[in-house]
Amino acid sequence: MNENHARLCPSPEWAEHIQTEVLPSLTEHADLGDDMLEIGPGPGAATEWLRHQVKRLTVLEIDAEAAAKLARRYADGNVEVALGDATELSYPDGSFDSVGSFTMLHHVPTLALQNKILAEAFRVLRPGGVLIGSDSLASNRLHHFHEGDTYNPIEPGTVLSRLQTIGFDKLTIMVDGILKFVAHKPAEHADSDEEWDAELDAEEAEDAA
């Protein structure tokens, strides 16, 4: 994180932006459930808002100093802070009802690693779970803002195909000054041939009765 981020990200102004302009518009399209994972919380601008929306919030931060600060801040509450790499999540399949990532993905240096994070989010979601996310749009101003830091902005036109390739469904993609997206993991359905036949047999039996 360069000096520009060190000033902006912990600021009250940034927290207000995330909590009033980003998160409410995403959660209009998503049921976060009880258990949520936030990837790359940084100083916790989104964390502070999200912890009031779910019963249990796990935040995964790759920077040890940032993780330690969050752990102290939320020592007595419903937030569990973990230190780790989002490209290799340690959580079992289907651990969370929702996953979130906010203005973080452009700090991931390659497209392949970004996709790996999205694929890991898909894996740890329960069937029917939801991924919500946001990121900055590419601009010359932001390019200079990230001087000396990783800057790999997402092309909005690629988001749909990238998420669909991973397996997400029911996609909502919004571009309004920033990129926002909501993507669902398909729910499990009783749609095997045997189960379908059993349902038909039951319906026929009811009709004959």
- For 64-77, the pLDDT digits (tens) are 999 999 999 999 99
What 8-state DSSP symbol labels residue 108?
Answer: S
Strands (E), the chain: 35-39, 56-61, 79-83, 96-102, 125-136, 169-175, 178-184
Closest C-alpha to 121, from 138, 133, 139: 133
Q: How, if at all, do strands 125-136 and 178-184 pair?
A: antiparallel
Cβ atoms of 10 and 17 closer than 8 Å: no
pLDDT digits (tens, 9 = 90+) for 113-130: 999 999 999 999 999 999
CA distance 142 to 34: 35
Place of tokens 């919004």: 174
pLDDT of residue 202: 59
Domains of the chain: 3-208 (3.40.50.150)
CA distance 18 to 65: 22
CA distance 180 to 134: 4
pLDDT band at 191 (very low <50, low <70, confident <90, very high): very low
Token pair recorded at residue 82: 């973990």
pLDDT digits (tens, 9 = 90+) for 20-57: 999 999 999 899 999 999 999 999 999 999 999 999 99
CA angle 7-77-29, nearest 5°? 70
The two counts, helices (H) then strands (E), for the chain are: 9, 7
Q: Does 139 score more than 70 pLDDT?
A: no
Place of tokens 């973990």: 82
Q: What SS3 class is residue 129?
A: strand
Q: Does 144 score more than 90 pLDDT?
A: no
